[in-house]
């Protein structure tokens, strides 16, 4: 990088990226603390359960879940194992092809996820407190995050 590029006015993309990483770390810590303390799951676990709940029939092929989460197939397998052990998720083989494995939300998983959603909404509301963030701020932040590859507007996490 030239000296001119380093000292030129305007935002530094590296600084911006590092601030985003630090902000993400802070958000993850808050969610992990609340979800872990109250429900015994991490934000990563919660996200897997949420994707399964939003899938048709409450189940997804493991490879599709991996793609949706930006993980490897083995990463999804490792992430699902503890959720299977505690009865929130079950493994299902495809009726027509035993090579295809599905991850399916159990009835217990669906009940527990409803409780987790309540907690997650509280954490988000506390993080984006009305005295610090207004509706325009949240709309603008949501749009910017979507440009970076986040969930598209209108795809709510219900």
Q: What is the pLDDT of residues 34-60, one digit of tens each?
A: 999 999 999 999 999 999 999 999 999
| Check whether domain 34-147 has CATH 1.10.10.10, yes or no | yes
Give whichever of 7-11, 34-38, 145-149 has the largest mean pLDDT: 34-38
pLDDT at 10 over 70: yes
pLDDT at 153: 44
Pairwise CA distance, residues 73 & 76, whole Å: 5
Beta-carbon neighbour count of residue 155 at 10 Å?
Answer: 10
φ/ψ of residue 130, rounded to 5: -60, -25
Pairwise CA distance, residues 30 & 64, whole Å: 28
Question: How distant is the alpha carbon of residue 132 from its chain centre?
Answer: 23
Q: What is the pLDDT of residues 15-27, one digit of tens each?
A: 999 999 999 999 9
* Domain range summary for the chain, segments of one domain joined by +: 34-147
Pairwise CA distance, residues 102 & 114, whole Å: 21
User: Picking from 83-87, 129-133, 143-147, 150-154, which range would have the lowest pLDDT averaged per residue?
Assistant: 150-154
Range 139-151 average pLDDT: 86
Sign of the CA dihedral with 21 first, then 137, 148, and 79 last: positive
Q: What is the pLDDT of residues 59-74, one digit of tens each?
A: 999 999 999 999 998 9
């Amino acid at each position: 990088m030239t000296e001119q590029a380093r000292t030129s006015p305007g935002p530094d993309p590296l600084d911006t990226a590092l601030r985003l990483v630090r902000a993400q770390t802070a958000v993850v810590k808050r969610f992990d603390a609340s979800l872990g303390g109250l429900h015994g799951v991490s934000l990563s676990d919660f996200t897997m359960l949420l994707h399964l709940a939003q899938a048709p029939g409450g189940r997804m092929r493991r490879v599709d879940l991996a793609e949706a989460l930006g993980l490897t197939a083995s990463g999804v397998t490792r992430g699902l194992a503890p959720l299977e052990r505690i009865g929130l998720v079950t493994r299902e083989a495809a009726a027509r092809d035993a090579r295809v494995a599905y991850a399916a939300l159990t009835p217990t998983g669906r009940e527990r996820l409803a409780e987790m959603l309540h907690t997650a909404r509280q954490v988000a509301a506390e993080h984006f407190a009305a005295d610090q963030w207004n509706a325009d701020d949240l709309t603008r932040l949501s749009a910017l995050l979507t440009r970076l590859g986040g969930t598209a507007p209108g795809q709510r996490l219900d």
